[in-house]
Amino acid sequence: MLEKHIPNPDIIYPRQNDKSTCYLKNVVKKSNVNIGDFTFYNDFYNSPEEFEKNNILYHYPINGDKLIIGKFCSIACGAKFIFNSANHTLSSCTTFPFPIFYEEWDKTIKVTEAWDNKGDIVVGNDVWIGFDAIIMAGVHIGDGAIIGTRAVVTKDVPPYTIVGGVPAKKIRQRFDDTIVKDLLEIKWWDWSIEKIQSNLTAIRKMDIEKLKS
């Protein structure tokens, strides 16, 4: 009898002979980035281990904003997270970022006054982010949502909602309200690995009653 394999969230490459897909939490080093178990990134251009460098942009420690991504998310090649420091303030009569060049203009100005701070980027659990999608600063994406290919997400996305386009707009809700409510209460992604594994068929086949029991 074969010994049962237990999935391991603490490895970098979960697929044999595949160095294009990695579990992100095991390659990200920044303290202001938090990624959940089994969330993976695939990159066929660069090493997926360079996710911090190539996909998390304008994320400077001075601003204090965070990237938080839940468990079991699927992130396609080229998806990017654009943080607040990429912005230029709109409350001034100029968009020129004088505070960035404070040494030249006025040393009393704070660098962070150069941009409007919209807060953290927060991605829920079991979210699928499509190829080349862009998630902008301050956006919160709910559990089970799907972000379409090359979408530019500038506003929050409700749970289990599919969005696409530039700027991203709702295409449809994946399930009816009752099922969405059940899934958000079940929170299967927070179960133990063993419980998820033993209920995998019910999760994959949408057997809500079995999952609720």
Catalytic site positions: 88
For the chain, the C-alpha Rg in angstroms (whole number) is 20
Q: Residues near 137 by Cβ (< 8 Å), separated by ≥ 6?
A: 65, 82, 83, 84, 86, 87, 117, 118, 119, 121
Check: CB of residue 37 under 8 Å from CB of residue 9: yes
Distance, in Å, from the CA atom of 25 to the CA atom of 35, rounded to the nearest integer, reads 5
- Write the DSSP string, 55-100: HEES--GGG---EEE-SS-EE-TT-EEE-GGG---SSSS--S-GGG
Of the candidates 181, 186, 162, 160, the one whose C-alpha atom is nearest the C-alpha of residue 172 is: 162
Q: How is residue 98 written in tokens?
A: 């004088």
Neighbours of 31 (CB within 10 A): 8
Of the candidates 54, 49, 190, 42, the one whose C-alpha atom is nearest the C-alpha of residue 129 is: 42
